Structures are given as C-alpha cells and as structure tokens.
Amino acid sequence: MPVDPSLPVLRSLGAKPDETFDLPEGAALGRLSIVHGALGEVIWADESGEEHSAMFPCSKLSPQPVAGDWVGVSGGAIVWLGPRRSELRRPASTKRRVQVLAANLDFVLITVPIDRPLNLVLLESLSVMAFDSGATPLVVLTKVDEVDDPAAAVELVRATLPELEVLVTSSTEPRGIDQLERLLAPGITAVMLGASGVGKTSLLNVLDDRDEFVRAVGPKGEGRHSTTTRRLHRLRCGGVLLDIPGIRLLDAVSSDEGLEATFPEIEALAAECRFRDCAHQGDKGCAVERALRMGEISERRLESWRQLRAASGAQEAVDERPAKRGRRREAPEIDLD
C-alpha cells in the first residue's frame, strides 16, 4: 500500500514529498540506520505517526540490508525491503563480489583534505565510485583553514574532475557549512566518501551539533577518522547524512559509466580508435596514444584510467547489482551560491 511520506518521522529520515512505498498490508515504514553484524537498527513510524526504533535480525534477508535502506517492519521482524534507487559499492573482502556500503543516496560528497598534497589517483577512483552509485557526486574540500591559499588546490581538483562541483569547507572557522546545509535539505540523503583522517567526522560534528572524539595524529594534528561502521544521521538542517569508514584506493569499484564521467577526454578519444577493442597500449590506429604523444592528455591520467579500466573488467563477471537503476534520472540541483 502507498505510504504518506509527509509524516514528520519519515521526512526526518529522508522521505521525499512525492515518494510512495508499496508496503505489505499491516507493515510500518522505517529506514535502516545502522547494521551491527546480523542485526540492523530500524527507525520507523507507526500508523499514528509516532517514532519507534529497535534492532531486527537481517542476516537472512536478500539482498543484505544496509544503512539507508527503506524497510517494512511487522511482528518484530523486517518483512519488506524496498527497491534501491542508488547504491554506493566496493569490492567485498573476498574480491569475488561487491559489497553495498549505503543505499538510496542523492549525493556522494567526495571528501578531500587540502592540508597535504592531493592524491589525484585516489580522487579519480572515488569519483568513479561515486558516479557508479547512481547518486550525484560533489567534491568537498576540507581543512582549508590550515593552508594560506587554497586556490591552487581548488584549481587542481577542478582540472582533474571538470565535471564536478567543488565546495571549500572548514570545520573550525566554519566555512562552507551554510552551503552544505542548504544542499542537505529535507528529503535529501548524502554520504561522505573519503580516506581516513580527511575531516568527515569533524564536518559531521559541525553539521549536527555533536562532539564526537577525533584523535589528533601527526605533526600537523590532522584528525584520524573515528568511524568504524556505516551510520545514518538526521541533521538539524533537515537532511540525512551517512558517515562510513575511510575508503582506500583498493576499495574503489569501477564501471564503464563511472570511467566515462571521470575521464571524459580519454573516453571520447577511445571512440576514435581504429579498433573497438583497442587496449591503448601499442595498438595500431590508437587515438588515445596519439593524443598522448601530442601532449593533449597526460600520462598520469592515462595510467590512472588504465588501472581503473582493468579493475572494471575484473568486476564485470561478479557484478550483481540491479540492472539499469535509472541513474541520476532526477538528480537534485546543486546550489552552492
């Protein structure tokens, strides 16, 4: 049956005004906020609109529920798992399957600190992973209060990922927080994606008036990410933010769509190669290598593309995500002014 998402509890969990959920008769709609092993915490609204929360077994459900999933609860159990409009994924530890980290996202906030040299390969990998999710990527630069002039880093990020908007932030001044709060409006769900120690927990503290412990390490006192699991946070600005543990370079999932969006210049050149299966490594009539010799693309970008393309090919055989989720078919507007 359709469920009214205008109820305050459901709105606070990220339900959109025009969203409906076809629940089984008698089930109440809720959202998974965190998974602990075989148990998942669900926040839901009963038929009178009152909020409840409890832990439910979820290890036997398929697909395995994750933070951000919409679920139906009844009789002390999760009885319905809603379809996902987007998924943030990485290779599972076995390297044989992919692991879904978070579901039903509107934005992926690629969180990068600029108080240290930018890791462009990791930045590109996170971009591919973000585009692959089906949500809208946005680069969030953190710790700008620790550098004299962030302009050079901003320009480098824009040159590397020209398709993406870039937001400059500081958790201590604060800076860029107003723009983030406007972005994370009611009905919006976002996830922070980045390596450990990039300032995700500090941003969450500012956005949600919390005071989580962040350890200081290193000569500059950079924060080490204290998040150890994936958790959904309801923000004071009305949106929902998922905080997940730090991502390593090897964690990135690659896809044709993500590669095309992250490396548009290389993908466009590849279409001009003589052979459709050109590997761009000594093949005759290779437009990509011709552009490299002429200085039109960089060796570093091409090598990064090759690594991610190889990872994409290795994952194709074990990719079990739902076919054609309608990616970014109604992408939220990004307003950073």
Position 224 scores a pLDDT of: 46
Task: Please report the pLDDT score of residue 203 as a whole number.
Answer: 87
Among residues 285, 288, 254, the alpha carbon closest in space to that of 270 is found at 288
Tell me the two tokens of residue 103: 């579901």
CATH code that applies to domain 8-83: 2.30.30.140
Q: What pLDDT, on the 0 to 100 scale, is given for residue 306?
A: 86
List pLDDT tens digits, range 78-137.
999 999 999 998 876 655 577 899 999 999 999 999 988 888 988 999 999 999 999 999
**CA 274 – CA 284 distance, rounded (Å):** 7
Confidence of residue 332 (pLDDT cuts 50, 70, 90): low
Q: What is the pLDDT of residue 331?
A: 56
* Residue boundaries of the structural domains of the chain: 8-83, 88-251, 263-316
The pTM for the full model equals 0.84
Pairing of strands 189-193, 240-243: parallel
Find, among 196, 260, 194, the residue nearest to 222 by Cα: 196
Q: Which CATH class is domain 263-316?
A: mainly alpha
CATH code assigned to 88-251: 3.40.50.300
**Which one is predicted more confidently, 221 or 185?**
185
Average pLDDT on 41-48 reads 92
* pLDDT the model gives residue 133: 92
- How does pLDDT run across 297-325, given as a tens digit for each residue? 989 999 888 888 877 655 554 454 443 34
Indicate the pLDDT class of residue 328, thresholds 50, 70 and 90: very low
**Cis amide bond preceding 63, omega within 30:** yes
Look over the chain and give the mean of its residue pLDDT values, rounded to a whole number: 83
